[in-house]
Structures are given as C-alpha cells and as structure tokens.
C-alpha cells in the first residue's frame, strides 16, 4: 500500500510513477481525504491533550482543598465530559475517512523502482543475461524434438483425461515416474535452499482474506483465486501469501534481519482471461506445486537481497543444467505489488522458446505497510522490505527437464544433481 504521507505531501510524484506503469490516475479526491484525516487527527490530539490537562487540574484543585463535589470541580468535570464527547465524535469521523482512504489505496499498485526500466509491455523488457546453450532440434535421426506434454503422455507420466473426470480441465494427475519426479524436484529444491540459509516452512494452504490483502492479491485479483466462501478462506495462489503474513502485525527485532524462508505449497489459480493459451501440458494449470523463497530485510539491504534472491533461483536452474535467461521487467509489465522484478525464463527445447519459470521481485515497503510489519531501529520502528521469488515452479521445471533431456531412444536423461533424489538417471516410463 502506498504511503499516506506521500499522498498528502507529493501526489504528483505518485501520479508520475503510476504513469510509468501505464496508469493515469486522478489523486485529487484521495489527497483531500488524506488531508481531512490528518486534520481530524490533529484536532482530536489537541482535544485529548486539553482533556488530560483538565483531569490533572481537577486533581490539583482537590489536593489544594477544593471539595470534590463543589462547583469549581463540577465545572471542570463538565468541561472534561464535553471534550470526551467531542473526541468520540472525531474518532468516528476519522475511522470513516480511514476506511474510505484504505479501501481506495488498496486498489493502487506499487510504485516502480528508480532502477526499473521504462516501458509499456513485455516487448520492452530487457535481457540481462543468458546461461547455458539452448538445445536445438531435430534429433540426429531427423525426427523433431517433442514438447513436454507429448513426452509425458508417451511415457505415461501424466493423465489429463481422468483428471477432467476428477475435477475439470487444467488439472493434471501425475503417475509413476511423473509423480516420483515431482517429489524429487520438491525435495531437491528445498534441500538446496536450506543449505543456502533459508528456513523451511510448511504453511497452511487455506488463507484468510487478511492474508491475501496483505500480500496484494486482494482486492484486485479476487477473480483469480478459488474461495471457500462460508469460512472466509481461500486456496493460496502462491506461498508468498502465507509467508507475507507469517509476521503480520509484528515488530521484528532488528538483529534477526534478514529473515529468509523457503516453502513448498500447492498453488491454485483460476487463470482468468488466459483461456486458449497453454491448454496442454504443465505450463498453465489451475493447481500446481511451487517452492517459494521469501525475505524480510532492512530497506537499505533490499537491493543486494534482490540480487541474492535471484541468484539463488538461478542456482537451481544451473544445478539442473537447464539453459535460461534473466529478464528485467519494464515498468509497464510489473506485477501489482512489485517495485522491481527479474523474470527467469527457461529454455523449452521442444517448443523452441523461453518460458517464465521464476519471478523474483522486491516489493519495498508496499506489502509491509499493508501487513503492518516493522522492525525496531533504536527507539523507532520502521517498515521492513519484503522480497519473493519462485525457487522454482515445479511443473515448469519438469517440462524443461523433459524437453531438454529427451533422447533418441525415447527416454529422458536426468541431470546428475537430481539422480540421488529420483533414484535413477533417466525416465523410461516404468512404474
């Protein structure tokens, strides 16, 4: 959530920064509400101070010999009661204005970082680096490289038809070596992040409205999530949601920062508006598994933390010998809560294209303000900065492994780093 003080004092800065995202917003009404709320707060504080003064004076008069039920004390107490009524009225007005202001601010995205390149769409994103040699087809015998869904079906790793019977389209059932590979990838990634200093977390998969609001998924993206309406619970779209709220409404001791977490969760998304794209395979599902990395850090350390978070995600791809590239998103392609984002795109050899497999973002204090997460800096408290990144999306990692490791004889070679977790060096379709 954006800073109300900035809204009051420099709304033009907010307007310019949001225009970098392609949003043209009139902030006049919001600024007026913020100023009215501040004025009411100042009036209330002044009245409360006056009420406290009168309370002290009543005590002093009585100590000096005035009768507690006498006229001079009664007059002071009457003044104090009038002030209490005025304060109560101002508090009600404040609450109403605060609710209006918060409701509207929750609809506004984060401001882009000064380091984020300007641009209107993904066409303006910047390639920062590439790693590895993308495999090109065809096979030596002249046959084309297959896409992952073709390999998975041929080897009996997935069943989509029965998944539709169980649930609906865009769900998948993993079978045999497919299920074992998914489990191996989850354990491989968690072990790697634990070794790197992340604390493993297994959070609830059902999250409440406050948690989705804190991380920025609500109210804007309600249609993207699955809801259990009777219980005010939602299926989490990403572990970023419960990890943000792990310290909601807390003051973290400064010496504990940075806090780094790694969590595996199933994730659930409606993918509203994406129908017709990636309807086959493991790329765009309603349910998928993901390992998420999350940081809470001091503001002055967040830029370095963003680089380290991204390197930790890249390290997984490199350990799996999967070619990838790092993309810096332009201002017009940023996610709602992000101030700056690197996307990692893995090479899918069968499709002959790079596809996103991780999005590593710094959100500055945007989520921390929504979630009221601070740290103690001397006598003062300050908002932490939060960062998140996929480390990695499991289904997309499996897709890349299938396409990159496909062999002439129909099996799929696995990278050496994964063999201890999977128990074999290749996929053959055996149970």
426 is a catalytic site residue: no
Point out the least confidently predicted range of 71-85, 175-189, 385-399.
71-85
CA–CA gap between residue 70 and residue 73 (Å, rounded): 6
Give the active site residue among 215, 225, 302, 359: 359
| Inter-axis angle of helices 28-63 and 71-105, nearest 10 | 160
pLDDT at 275 over 60: no
Q: Is the peptide bond before 392 cis (omega within 30 degrees of 0)?
A: yes
Residue 51 has what pLDDT?
87
Give yes or no for a contact between 23 and 109, defined as CB atoms under 8 angstroms apart: yes
211 catalytically annotated: no
The token duo for 348 is 């899918």
- Cβ atoms 101, 68 nearer than 8 A: no
pLDDT digits (tens, 9 = 90+) for 17-48: 999 999 999 999 999 999 999 999 999 999 99
Q: Are residues 134 and 202 in the same domain?
A: yes
Structure-token pair, residue 259? 């806090």
204, part of any domain: yes
Is 280 catalytic? The answer is: no
Look at residues 75, 105, 135 and tell me which one is the last residue of a structural domain: 105
Active site residue 355: no
Q: Is the pLDDT of residue 213 over 70?
A: yes
Q: Which of 56, 78, 105 is the last residue of a domain?
A: 105
How many domains is the chain partitioned into structurally? Answer: 2
Both 367 and 225 in one domain: the answer is yes
CATH of the domain at 187: 3.30.930.10
Q: What does the alpha-carbon distance between residue 194 and residue 293 come to, in Å, rounded to a whole number?
A: 10
The one catalytic residue among 20, 269, 340, 369:
269
Would you tell me how many other CB atoms lie within 10 Å of the CB of residue 178? Answer: 22
DSSP secondary structure letter of residue 373: -
Q: Is 173 helix (H, G, I), strand (E, B) or coil?
A: strand
Interval 181-190 mean pLDDT: 98
> Quick one: pLDDT at residue 77?
85
**pLDDT per residue as tens digits for the range 333-366:** 999 999 999 999 999 999 999 999 999 999 999 9
User: Can you give the pLDDT at residue 229?
Assistant: 81
Q: What is the pLDDT of residue 273?
A: 53
Query: What value does the mean pLDDT take over residues 214-231?
Result: 92
Predicted confidence at residue 334, as pLDDT, reads 97
Instruction: Given the residues 50, 325, 356, 382, select the one marked as catalytic.
Output: 356
Pick the catalytic residue from 180, 192, 284, 370.
284
The pTM of the full predicted model, rounded to 2 decimals, is 0.91
Instruction: Extract the tokens encoding 85.
Output: 């009524």
The answer on 64 and 201 residing in a single domain is no
Q: What percent of the chain lies above the pLDDT cut of 90?
A: 81
44 carries an active-site annotation: no
Q: What is the mean pLDDT of residues 65-73?
A: 81
* In the predicted structure, residue 331 carries a pLDDT above the cut 60: yes
Residues 6+ apart with CB under 8 A from 196: 312, 315
Task: Specify the 3-state DSSP secondary structure of 253.
Answer: strand
Q: What is the mean pLDDT of the chain?
A: 93
Containing 136, the helix (H) or strand (E) segment is none
Instruction: Give the model's confidence band at 414: pLDDT under 50 very low, under 70 low, under 90 confident, else very high.
Output: very high
Q: Are residues 84 and 139 in the same domain?
A: no
Note whether 304 and 329 are same-domain residues: yes
Residue-range definition of the domain harbouring residue 224: 122-427
Out of 20, 260, 374, 396, which one is annotated catalytic?
396
Output 335 or 80, whichever has higher pLDDT: 335
Q: Residue 314: inside a domain, yes or no?
A: yes
Say whether both 66 and 150 belong to one domain: no
């Amino acid at each position: 959530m954006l800073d109300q003080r900035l809204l009051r004092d420099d709304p033009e800065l907010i307007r310019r920064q949001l225009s970098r995202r392609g949003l043209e917003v009139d902030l006049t009404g919001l600024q007026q509400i913020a100023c009215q709320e501040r004025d009411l707060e100042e009036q209330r504080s002044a009245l409360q101070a006056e009420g406290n003064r009168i309370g002290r004076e009543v005590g002093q008069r009585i100590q000096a010999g005035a009768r507690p039920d006498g006229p001079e004390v009664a007059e002071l107490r009457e003044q104090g009661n009038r002030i209490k009524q005025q304060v109560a009225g101002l508090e009600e007005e404040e609450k109403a204005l605060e609710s209006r202001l918060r409701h509207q601010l929750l609809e506004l995205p984060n401001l882009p970082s000064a380091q984020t390149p300007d641009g209107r769409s993904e066409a303006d994103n910047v390639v920062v680096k590439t790693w590895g040699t993308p495999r090109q087809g065809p096979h030596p015998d002249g046959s084309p490289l297959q896409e992952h869904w073709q390999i998975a079906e041929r080897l009996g790793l997935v069943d989509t038809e029965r998944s539709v019977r169980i649930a609906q389209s865009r769900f998948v059932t993993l079978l045999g070596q497919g299920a074992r590979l998914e489990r191996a990838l989850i354990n491989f990634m968690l072990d790697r992040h634990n070794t790197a200093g992340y604390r493993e977390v297994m959070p609830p998969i059902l999250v409440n409205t406050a948690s989705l609001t804190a991380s920025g998924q609500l109210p804007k993206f309600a249609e993207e999530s699955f809801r259990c309406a009777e219980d005010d619970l939602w299926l989490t779209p990403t572990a970023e949601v419960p990890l943000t709220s792990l310290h909601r409404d807390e003051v973290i001791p400064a010496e504990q920062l940075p806090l780094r977490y790694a969590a595996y969760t199933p994730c659930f998304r409606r993918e509203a508006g994406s129908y017709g794209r990636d309807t086959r395979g493991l790329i765009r599902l309603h349910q998928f598994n993901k390992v998420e990395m999350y940081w809470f850090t001091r503001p002055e350390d967040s830029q370095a933390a963003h680089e380290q978070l991204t390197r930790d995600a890249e390290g997984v791809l490199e350990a799996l010998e999967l070619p990838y590239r790092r993309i810096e998103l332009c201002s017009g392609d940023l996610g709602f809560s992000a101030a700056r984002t690197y996307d990692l795109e893995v090479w899918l050899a069968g499709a002959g294209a790079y596809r996103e497999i991780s999005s590593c973002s710094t959100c500055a204090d945007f989520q921390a303000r929504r979630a009221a997460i601070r740290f103690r800096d001397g006598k003062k408290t300050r908002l932490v900065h939060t960062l998140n990144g996929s480390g990695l999306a499991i289904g997309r990692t499996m897709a890349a492994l299938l396409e990159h490791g496909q062999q002439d004889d129909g099996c799929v070679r696995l990278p050496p780093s994964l063999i201890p977790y999977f128990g074999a060096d290749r996929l053959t379709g055996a149970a």
